[in-house]
Amino acid sequence: MAVTTSTPTSPPSMAQDLLNSLPKTLKLKTKQQELLIRVTTLGLIYILAFITRLFSVLRYESMIHEFDPYFNYRTTLYLTEHGFSEFWNWFDSDSWYPLGRIIGGTLYPGLMLTAAALYKILHFLRFAVHIREVCVLTAPFFASNTAIVAYFFGKEVWDSGAGIVAAALIAICPGYISRSVAGSYDNEGVAIFALLLTFYLFVKAVNTGSLSWSLASAFGYFYMVSAWGGYVFIINLVPLYVLVLLVTGRYSLRLYVAYNCMYVLGMLLAMQIRFVGFQHVQSGEHMAAMGVFFLLQVFFFLDWVKHLLGDVKLFQAFLRITVTGAVSVGAIALGVGTASGYISPWTGRFYSLLDPTYAKDHIPIIASVSEHQPTAWSSFMFDFHILLFLFPAGLYFCFKRLSDATIFIVMYGLTSMYFAGVMVRLILVATPAVCLISAIAVSATVKNLTRVVRAKVQTLQSGSGKGTSASKGSSKGVIDNSQPFQKNGAVVLLLGAFYLLSRYAIHCTWVTSEAYSSPSIVLAARGAHGQRVIFDDYREAYFWLRQNTAPDAKVMSWWDYGYQITAMGNRTVIVDNNTWNNTHIATVGRAMSSYEDEAYDIMRSLDVDYVLVVFGGVTGYSSDDINKFLWMVRIGGGVFPVIKEPDYLVNGEYRVDKGAAPKMLNCLMYKLSYYRFGELTTEYGKPPGYDRARGVEIGNKDIKLEYLEEAFTTQNWIVRIYKVKPPKNRW
Amino acid sequence: MAKLIFVFLTLIPILCNSFTPEKTSDRRILVLLDDFAVKSSHSLFFKSLQSRGFDLDFKLADDPKIALQRYGQYLYDALVLFSPTIERFGGSIDAAAILDFVDSGHDLIVAADNNASDLIREIATECGVDFDEDTSAVVVDHSGYAVSATEGDHTLIASDDFIKSDVILGSKKIEAPVLFQGIGHSLNPSNSLVLKVLSASPTAFSANPKSKLTSPPSLLGSSISLVSVIQARNNARILISGSLSVFSNRFFNSGVQKAGSPTKHDKSGNEQFFTELSKWVLHERGHLKAVNVQHHKVGETNEPSIYRINDDLEYSVEIYEWSGKSWEPYVADDVQVQFYMMSPYVLKTLSNDKKGRFFTSFKVPDVYGVFQFKVEYDRLGYTSLSLSKQIPVRPFRHNEYERFIPAAYPYYGAAFSMMAGFFVFSAVHLYNK
């Protein structure tokens, strides 16, 4: 049943030519040559995976990107400075003022610990690097490791040829690069490595039935749990896989050993992560794994009883009773657990994965994040390119040669593709599966085709049917029928395949350099004369905060910028990207969408000293606060019904020009964004106060602030900071 | 040369004295007058100030050389505006400059009068006091007027409706009514800081006594304020009076008999009333300071940077009151401290040791977050104390929980019996064949 771990029967011919040219003294045996080529290729892939992710460093500088990575960077810094114990017990009073946040208990520490360990190792080796460099390069480093794991996985599932192709594909696949360029210091950077490693080790354990592989996979799972909340995918996919094997009659002792050991040890290990804690036994998302665990025991027991009884009829009766009993006990346990509140129901995030429309109706805060939107077709094409076509072909090959391992990879591929369709960011999870399955398609096709091509040269040798699998056999049959035509066709197809693969490589490089290497904290644009213009307004503003405000000043902004303000500005924020308290965020949303005097009361009650807004009207930067504003209204209105979305719309249309709703023109966010904007001419030939991000002339040019005063506006007006005035002296 | 040094050395203490931060009472007062006649006609009031150690600087309000500040430093600690008719101040002073003067913590006494200028009205309005918009209107009271030899038009009224506050008006009761002749004002309801010190009687109204009333007067009854004070948030104090003559020697010395009242007082209450009120306005009374806020865990003395939930802590603050000469311990039993995070989690009344130290101890609530020790002490007449000190409260560390709890003994037992059982089972299974 296990996949025959076959070594490739025909090493690439080109390599042989290369080797022939070497001096005779270096002549190696075929097997050694093959090994050498394989290792060299893998080494090159390893390097390629790393360097292709360095565009961002070359284009900009060695810096942390985006939003969440800044939190990770800040915590890593804390970890290296204060040690593990302090980090584990860190109560951060700088965020979520005045609630604070227990950092140690509310994060996945895997990434920080990994980076800190790398940092320690480097320092032990006397490389005096800064922790920031380590953080910036962690993701590319782990991407390289992922490629190696992909090789072993491919080898386990199919053969080493497929493994090498998989490693090469995943090394440059844009779907993965989008989350692992240098500077993208986020959980996913190490989590994809951990995910693939866990799957690989588990498949290996299932194939071998070995306790040690199973233990290794439990540790892989532990690393995954420590690194990313996406571990829920593992703990649901693996039981589903086991269930499918049970249903299709592929139950074996190997599976029993692999799953039980992995589940029990993995669960115990995962409980050591504070953020996960008792969820494995208490949360609805993890119950499937537990149910399958018990089911396996029942299965094993039945197997044993069957073995003991030896009487079919008696066993049938026994089976019926046991299965009914087991199922009803399980159902009752689940029902009682859920009803008593011991087992928590599924979270909103989980629901929104199963039902793409759920978040939009129930949890605006999840729906408001752009990476949680359903995926557009174009982004599949963008992220996968030819893999999108190779994927079904690979599935075909997998079904052709069905084994425990291929069943796993097929299930992984299909489920993750579904999730990738639900949420943009989950393309990342699907990428390894798509690469592996496509690699099987590429490898199998190329292998078959080369065999056809080589068949002419070595007619006699290849004539003897070596192929063991069905696909090989069939292709052989065709060859014998019409060789000359077949050979030409094979050459053409081979050339076509290489053309496609080279297009893939070009596409990946282009996407990486153009789309995925922007740090998003420094913006680049083309100037009027085609030169590159850099907008470094974010850092300008954060450093202004750092240097010009009181150390305990509280800054209110929309939650997107919370992590950056604490990490770069070193100031207390009201809300940040860890959106754990919806009410608090709604309060900020309410303040932003209220009139100035109402907002002032809210800000006073939160001790706000500064308000920070992001404004793109001057530069044409479209992801600014005015464009996010409707989400603030929705989230604020979700908790405080005084805020009503229709008040900000005109006939269901969101506008900021003269025709805008009166409440819109006078709410705090509008005033802060457009304060004194009416005096500015942004574009030649347009009236003053022309908003370039929305392409309209603003509707309220005469904005007076009563309770706030402008404190700082960056060079390109992208970030504007206002000071909240103290209460009037004589009133 | 030696003489110069000697002069300089003797000057040092004086110079230092003038800059001491401990000094809360005002020392230099600028008095702006319409004409210098007021200086002699109101000399009793000025004398009482001078006798209390104030240095008065009399200037005509339209003197082009007057200035409140020089090189960014204020030259005076308080300002007395006895120039009700002035339309434009001389020098660089205008309404905004005077309000800035107040907003930077200095005191102000404003007297309006029958034909008060728009400038004076504007300053008053900015302080939450609205004089009657009818410029010819004065306060008339046909039943609470002061009895005089001639019948008159009842614009000279005797009022005894004082604010009930010993801090503002002194502990000695003012027996005689206060004579008042001038315009009335109302308090802006949106201003929470302005106080009516002397209000008109319910029968008073504000109108032009020389013309016939055609429409109901805009100001009526006891909502008319005659003298008001404002204590700004920065503790600057402002006195606004609708009459300049109330400060005059004539009113100070004249006898008074309220219409309908049998008692005739030889001397009106004006002198006592305005002397006491000026003491309050110039911070000789009712000025508190809080110093030395301390908090620490019970049994320790150093202030921690963070507390843990359920810690026991002690909080103390010292509060003193300015007696005019020195800081005296403040004694009260209604000072409270809040342990505050969006709402007070702990609210405790502080006990005091009569030496100015207020203290209490309490347990940190079982909630983590960024708390504040807050003392919000607002009492009528006293400067408002608003102290807040931020302190984070953290949850237990992972090793601060109890290591073994009795309730979990079944689980410990289960775990160890499982281990033992597994060991025995393995041994039997492996070696018993």
Give SS3 for B87: coil
Q: Assess if residue B256 is contained within a domain.
A: yes
Facing A98 at nearest CB: one of B102, B192, B369: B369
Q: Are residues B152 and B110 in the same domain?
A: yes
Residues of B in contact with A99 (CB under 8 A): 341, 369-370
* Shortest CA gap A332–chain B (Å): 24
The mean pLDDT value for A239-257 works out to 92
**Chain A CB within 8 Å of residue B65 CB:** no
Q: Is the pLDDT of residue A18 over 60?
A: no
- Distance, CA of B83 to CA of B113 (rounded, Å): 9
For residue B371, the enclosing domain spans: 287-398
Tell me, what CATH number does B323's domain have?
2.60.40.10
> For residue B4, is it within any domain?
no
Determine contact: A89 vs chain B, CB below 8 A. Answer: yes
- Indicate whether B21 and B47 sit together in one domain: yes
Set of chain B residues whose Cβ sits within 8 Å of the Cβ of A100 = 368-370, 392-394
B6: in domain: no
Judgement on whether residues B394 and B406 belong to the same structural domain of the protein:
no
User: In this predicted model, what pLDDT tens digit does every residue of A107-133 receive, in sequence order?
Assistant: 999 999 999 999 999 999 999 999 999
Average pLDDT, chain B: 87
B313 and B240 housed in the same domain: no
Nearest-by-Cβ selection for B342 from A98, A726, A730: A98
B239 in a structural domain: yes
Angle (CA) B139 B144 B149, round 5°: 95
Chain B residues touching residue A89 (CB < 8 angstroms): 394, 397-398
pLDDT tops 60 at residue A493: yes
Q: Which residues of A159-196 are buried (b: 16+ CB within 10 A; e: fewer)?
A: bbbbbbbbbbbbbbbbbbbbbbbbbbbbbbbbbbbbbb
Q: Determine how many CB atoms are found less than 10 A away from the CB of residue B381.
A: 17
What digits encode the pLDDT tens for the residues A415-466? 999 999 888 889 999 999 999 999 999 999 999 898 888 875 554 444 444 4
Least confident of A398-402, B25-29, B49-53: B25-29
Instruction: Give yes or no for B200 touching A (CB within 8 A).
Output: no
Answer yes or no: is pLDDT of B401 > 80. yes
CB–CB of A729 and B390 under 8 A? Answer: no
Res. A306 pLDDT band, cuts 50 70 90: confident
Which of B281, B309, B324 is where one domain is finished?
Answer: B281
> CATH no. for residue B188?
3.40.50
Q: Do A93 and B191 touch (CB under 8 A)?
A: no
Of A88, A93, A730, the CB nearest to B102: A730
Q: Quick one: B39 and B175 in the same domain?
A: yes
Over the range B356-370, which residues count as b (16 or more CB within 10 Å of their CB) and which as e?
Answer: bbbbbebebeeebbb
From the number of C-beta atoms within 10 Å of its C-beta (0-12, 13-18, 19+), residue A341 rates as exposed
* CA–centroid distance for A277 within its chain: 22
Comparing alpha-carbon positions, the chain A residue that sits nearest to B234 is A729
Smallest Cα distance from B198 to chain A, Å: 20
Cβ separation B392–A100 shorter than 8 A: yes
Average pLDDT over residues A250-277: 92
- Residue of A93, A726, A731 lying closest to B190 (CB–CB): A731
Q: Output the CA–CA distances (angstroms, integers) from residue A100 to A274, A581, B160, B312, B370, in the order listed.
A: 17, 11, 55, 21, 6
Residues B76 and B220 in one domain: yes
| Nearest CB neighbour to A91, from listed B234, B390, B394 | B394
pLDDT digits (tens, 9 = 90+) for B21-35: 445 445 889 999 988
Over the stretch A2-13, which tens digit does the pLDDT of each residue have? 344 444 444 445
Asked if A91 and B392 come within 8 Å (Cβ–Cβ), the reply is: yes
> Which residues, 6 or more positions from A646, have their beta carbon under 8 angstroms from its beta carbon?
none
Decide if B3 is inside a domain: no
| Together in a domain, B410 and B354 | no
CA distance A105 to chain B (A): 10
Prediction pTM value:
0.85
Residues B254 and B361 in one domain: no
> Is residue B273 in a domain?
yes
Contact state of B370 with A97 under an 8 Å Cβ cutoff: yes
Domain final residue pick, B255, B281, B307:
B281
For residue A4, what pLDDT is reported?
40
Judge whether residue A32 has pLDDT over 70.
Answer: yes
- Per-residue pLDDT tens digits for B326-381: 899 999 999 999 999 989 999 999 998 988 899 999 999 999 999 999 999 998 88
Domain count, chain B: 3
Edge-to-edge, what's the strand order for the sheet holding A554-556? A572-573, A554-556, A610-614, A719-724, A708-713
Contact with chain A for residue B345, Cβ under 8 A:
no
Q: Which of A146-155, B136-145, B189-198, B378-387 shows the lowest mean pLDDT across its residues?
A: B136-145
Q: Hey, are the CB atoms on A91 and B368 less than 8 Å from each other?
A: yes
> Which chain B residues touch A91 with a CB distance below 8 Å?
306, 368, 392, 394-395
The pair of structure tokens assigned to A607 is 């001790």
Residue B149 lies in a domain: yes
Q: What is the biggest distance separating any 2 CA atoms in chain A, rounded to whole angstroms?
A: 105
CA dihedral A572, A551, B341, A74 (to 10 degrees): 30
pLDDT at A342: 84
What is the pLDDT, as a whole number, of residue B149? 66
Quick one: pLDDT at residue B151?
Answer: 67
Final residue of a structural domain among B281, B310, B345: B281
The mean pLDDT value of chain A amounts to: 87
Instruction: State yes or no: pLDDT of A20 exceeds 50.
Output: yes
Contact yes or no for B99 and A730 at CB 8 A: yes
- pLDDT above 50 (res B76): yes
Q: Average pLDDT for residues B76-105, to the nearest whole number?
A: 89
Q: Span B2-29, mean pLDDT? A: 52
Q: How confident is the model at residue A23 (pLDDT cuts 50, 70, 90)?
A: low
Q: Is the pLDDT of residue B20 over 50?
A: no
Confirm or reject contact between A731 and chain B (CB < 8 A): yes
pLDDT for residue A554 is more than 90 = yes
Chain B interface includes A354 (CB < 8 A): no
A580 touches chain B (CB under 8 A): no
Q: What is the pLDDT of residues A83-100, one digit of tens each?
A: 999 999 999 988 898 899
- pLDDT value of residue B218: 83
Chain A positions touching B238 (Cβ under 8 A) are: 730
Q: How confident is the model at residue A473 (pLDDT cuts 50, 70, 90)?
A: very low
Contact A159, A6 (CB under 8 A): yes
pLDDT, mean of residues A56-60? 89
User: Tell me: the pLDDT tens digits for A591-623?
Assistant: 999 999 999 999 999 999 999 999 998 988 888
Count Cβ atoms within 10 A of the Cβ of residue A495 and give its class: 0-12 exposed, 13-18 middle, 19 or more buried.
Answer: exposed
Task: State the pLDDT at residue A204.
Answer: 95
Q: Which of B238, B371, B397 sits opposite A89 (nearest CB)?
A: B397
In chain B, what residues touch A730 (CB-CB under 8 Å)? 99, 102-103, 126-128, 191, 193, 230, 232-233, 238
Whole-number pLDDT of residue B86: 87
* pLDDT tens-digit map of B246-275: 999 988 888 888 887 888 888 888 889 999
Q: Six-digit token pair at A441?
A: 């398609």
Q: Are A71 and A568 in contact (CB under 8 A)?
A: no
Which residue does chain A place closest to B104, by CA atoms?
Answer: A729
Whether B20 and B45 map to the same domain: the answer is yes
Q: How far apart are CA A519 and CA A531, in angstroms?
A: 19
pLDDT tens digit string along B183-225? 999 999 988 899 999 998 888 888 888 888 878 888 888 889 9
User: Best mutation site among B238, B370, B384, B389 for testing chain A: the one with the most A CBs within 10 Å?
Assistant: B370
Contact of B304 with B314, CB cutoff 8 Å: no
Query: Looking at residue B208, what is its pLDDT?
Result: 85
User: Given a cut of 50, is residue A1 above it in pLDDT?
Assistant: no
pLDDT exceeds cutoff 90 at B315: yes
Share of chain A above pLDDT 70, in %: 92
- A21 has a pLDDT exceeding 80: no
Instruction: Assess B123–A contact: CB distance below 8 Å, yes or no.
Output: no
Query: Does B165 share its domain with B266?
Result: yes
- If we measure between CA atoms, which residue out of A92, A183, A99, A91 comes closest to residue A135? A183
pLDDT band at B298; cut points 50, 70, 90: very high
Contact at CB, A730 and B238, closer than 8 angstroms: yes
Inter-chain touch B127–A88, beta carbons under 8 Å: no
Considering CB atoms only, which of A99, A606, A729 is closest to B232? Answer: A729
Same domain, B217 and B165: yes
Helices (H), B243-399: 249-253, 270-281
Helix (H) or strand (E) holding B185: strand B185-187
Nearest to A229 by CA among A199, A195, A196: A195
Q: Residue A465: its pLDDT value, please? A: 40
pLDDT of residue B52: 87
Stretch 592-631 of chain A: residues touching chain B, C-beta under 8 Å: 605-606
The SS3 of residue B328 is strand
Residues B329 and B216 in one domain: no
Over 60: is that where the pLDDT of A559 sits? yes
CA–CA distance, A414 with A408 (Å, rounded to integer): 10
Q: Return the HEC string of A508-548.
A: HHHHHHHCCCCCCCCEEEECCCCCEEEECHHHHHHHHHHHH
Extract the tokens encoding A152.
């072993």
Q: At what angle do helices A427-457 and A387-400 cross, to 10 degrees?
A: 70
Task: State the pLDDT confidence band at A24, using cuts at 50, 70 and 90.
Answer: low
Residue B102 inside a domain? The answer is yes
Report residue B161's pLDDT band, with 50, 70 and 90 as the boundaries.
Answer: confident
Which residue on chain A is closest to B341 by alpha carbon?
A98
B82 closest CA partner among B233, B255, B287, B278: B278
Q: Are B372 and B340 in contact (CB under 8 A)?
A: yes
